[in-house]
Amino acid sequence: MTQEELFKVLVAHCKEYGFIFPSSEIYDGLAAVYDYGQMGVELKNNIKSYWWNAMTRLNENIVGIDSCIFMHPRIWEASGHVAAFNDPLIDNKDSKKRYRADVLIEDFLGKIEEKIEKEVAKGRKKFGENFDEEQFRATNPNVQRELKKYNEVHEAYKAAENANDLAAYKQIIVDNNIVCPISGTCNWTDVRQFNLMFKTSMGSTDDTANTIYLRPETAQGIFVNYLNVQKTGRMKLPFGIAQIGKAFRNEIVARQFIFRMREFEQMEMQFFIKPGTELQWFAKWKENRMKWHVNLGMGAENYRFHDHEKLAHYANAATDVEFKFPFGFKELEGIHSRTNFDLGNHQKYSGKKIQYFDPESGESYTPYVVETSIGVDRMVLAVLSHSYKEEQLENGESRVVLSIPAPLAPVKAAVLPLLKNNEELTNLAQKIMDDLKYDFNCQYDEKDSIGKRYRRQDAIGTPFCITVDHESLEDNCVTVRDRDTMEQQRVPIAEIRALIDKKVNLNNLLRNL
């Protein structure tokens, strides 16, 4: 199965097993908006707990807040979003479809890279053990031709991006005959800027209504509460404020399932520091955040940093944590050194003094900020795409299993009486369920054969299945099956809780950080 096919299968699986549904589905859906189902919401909440606890419990100098989606419209002028939160868009005149000019160019570059890798793979096959990849890349005429093209386009693209030159974007598209995937033509409009913020109005009548925006990031809610938290919490620099909440962006190209949505959730932390220390803290947070990711056990090789060549208007250093999604390495989290841009501008626009009095040096200054910002939905997609596996079993059967890191699994254990119509078995199973449900999210299932029930639990990633059989009535033991190894062991009922807890307790993950 190609990665593309696998991705399609994953999207269907997410729907079939209650993880993620297209929003408003009975009205044919709403583009790039998705709802979380009964399994999805549990997974999402577990991811949020892992992040929230890692930030606010493990760091005594980080506290959380929950600010509103609606904020004063001047905030978005101060933050630069009204003037500069734009994407370059271009329309194809034949298909009438709209695209992001930068994405069209990046996809084109991606295709050149693919061609190069295909040539290298051909070479590897042809020369077998004697294959010298470095030499092949440096001398093969096809690779060299494609590489030259790649470098030329990449250079022109970076220049257009840095100069924010919309005409140059179009020129690259035309010069390289980049066509619309729908119409197949190169009949393009000029490139225009498109602001990504959703607008609405607040007020009782139209003439008194104010235009306000749905926040495109949660970060500004933290900045405008900096003074409140610093004063009421008697916080001393360095300290951080964490927040989880919804953000909204009118994305032009909204595809790849929950990777790029119009309504999504962010987990952001702004770390306030003394000016001049920002690059040390930036390095520290890069390290911390990578550790948080790798600690989940989804393979260190599936993450990498991508340092930004072009910095946002507010940053003096920035990097992405990229994850290997089925469609390649893509941004999962951003870490930005935001200087004093935001607090400084809010001071200017609000007219209120936003400063920190440093008791050690006796001076007052506007703190600098290092931000970590991760999309909850992208994290859900990372976990699901890494976990989805179709396995061939020794007995000739196959199974679909989600090997979700156990502390994040939506259901931790399933309690299964061997027979549905045996009251003794169902009563004991129900008793075990009632006992475990205070500690873990459990499912009770008595329908169908045990084999089918195991398959259902594998498909939602349940780490443990607990089967109550006739012997259980005699020896007070149950059969516990492990999702990953499929091994079964007899366990005294009194020991089940400890066995499950050892594997699924979030604190064990947190302790490794």
| Closest CB to ligand GAP among residues 99, 440 | 99
Q: How far is the CB of 195 from ligand GAP (least distance, A)?
A: 14
CA distance 416 to 85: 53
| Closest CB to ligand GAP among residues 77, 190 | 77
Q: How far is the CB of 278 from ligand GAP (least distance, A)?
A: 16
Q: How far is the CB of 217 from ligand GAP (least distance, A)?
A: 4
> CA 251, 65, 40, 294 torsion: positive or negative?
positive
| Closest CB to ligand GAP among residues 66, 363 | 66
State the virtual CA torsion across 271, 277, 283, 287 in degrees, nearest 10.
Answer: -50
Is residue 142 within 8 Å of residue 293, measured between CB atoms?
A: no
Beta-bridge partner residues of 86 = 195
Q: Which residues contact 19 (CB under 8 A, 6 or more apart)?
A: 13, 36, 37, 39, 40, 43, 384, 410, 460
Q: How far is the CB of 171 from ligand GAP (least distance, A)?
A: 27
Is residue 369 within 8 Å of residue 315, measured between CB atoms?
A: no
| Closest CB to ligand GAP among residues 198, 349 | 198
Q: How far is the CB of 346 from ligand GAP (least distance, A)?
A: 15
| Long-range CB pairs of 467-472, under 8 A, 24+ apart, other chains included | 467/416, 467/417, 467/418, 468/415, 468/416, 468/417, 468/418, 468/425, 468/428, 468/429, 468/432, 469/418, 469/425, 470/418, 470/425, 472/425, 472/428
Beta-bridge partner residues of 337 = 317, 370
Binding interface with ligand GAP (CB under 6 A): 217, 219, 249, 251, 260-261, 264, 266, 268, 331-334, 371, 373-375, 377-378
Q: Which residues contact 263 (CB under 8 A, 6 or more apart)?
A: 33, 246, 247, 248
Q: How far is the CB of 260 from ligand GAP (least distance, A)?
A: 4
Q: How far is the CB of 345 from ligand GAP (least distance, A)?
A: 14
Q: How far is the CB of 369 from ligand GAP (least distance, A)?
A: 10
| Closest CB to ligand GAP among residues 11, 414 | 11
| Closest CB to ligand GAP among residues 336, 483 | 336
Helix (H, G, I), strand (E, B) or coil at 212: strand
CA distance 15 to 21: 5
Q: How far is the CB of 305 from ligand GAP (least distance, A)?
A: 13
Q: How far is the CB of 334 from ligand GAP (least distance, A)?
A: 4
| Closest CB to ligand GAP among residues 10, 219 | 219
What's the one-letter identity of residue 40?
Answer: G
Give the helix/strand (H/E) hosting 309.
none
| Closest CB to ligand GAP among residues 32, 153 | 32
Is residue 241 within 8 Å of residue 225, measured between CB atoms?
A: yes
Angstrom CA distances, 500 to 83, 292, 425, stand at 52, 23, 21
| Closest CB to ligand GAP among residues 249, 289 | 249
The secondary structure of residue 128, as a DSSP letter, is: G
Helix (H, G, I), strand (E, B) or coil at 70: strand
Residue 395 corresponds to which tokens in the numbers above?
């007995």
| Maximum alpha-carbon separation in the chain | 80
Residue 445 corresponds to which tokens in the numbers above?
């299932």
State the virtual CA torsion across 218, 223, 224, 230 in degrees, nearest 10.
Answer: 130
| Closest CB to ligand GAP among residues 70, 127 | 70
Q: How many CB atoms lie within 10 A of CB 221?
A: 22
| Closest CB to ligand GAP among residues 169, 325 | 325
Beta-bridge partner residues of 417 = 468
Q: How far is the CB of 39 from ligand GAP (least distance, A)?
A: 19
Q: How far is the CB of 178 from ligand GAP (least distance, A)?
A: 23
| Closest CB to ligand GAP among residues 147, 374 | 374
Number of alpha carbons in the 13 Å side-chain half-sphere of residue 407: 19
Convert 310-327 into a string of H (helix), E (strand) and C (coil). Answer: CCCCCCCEEEEEEEEECC
H and E: helices and strands count for the chain: 18, 23
Q: Which residue is nearest to ligand GAP (CB)?
A: 375
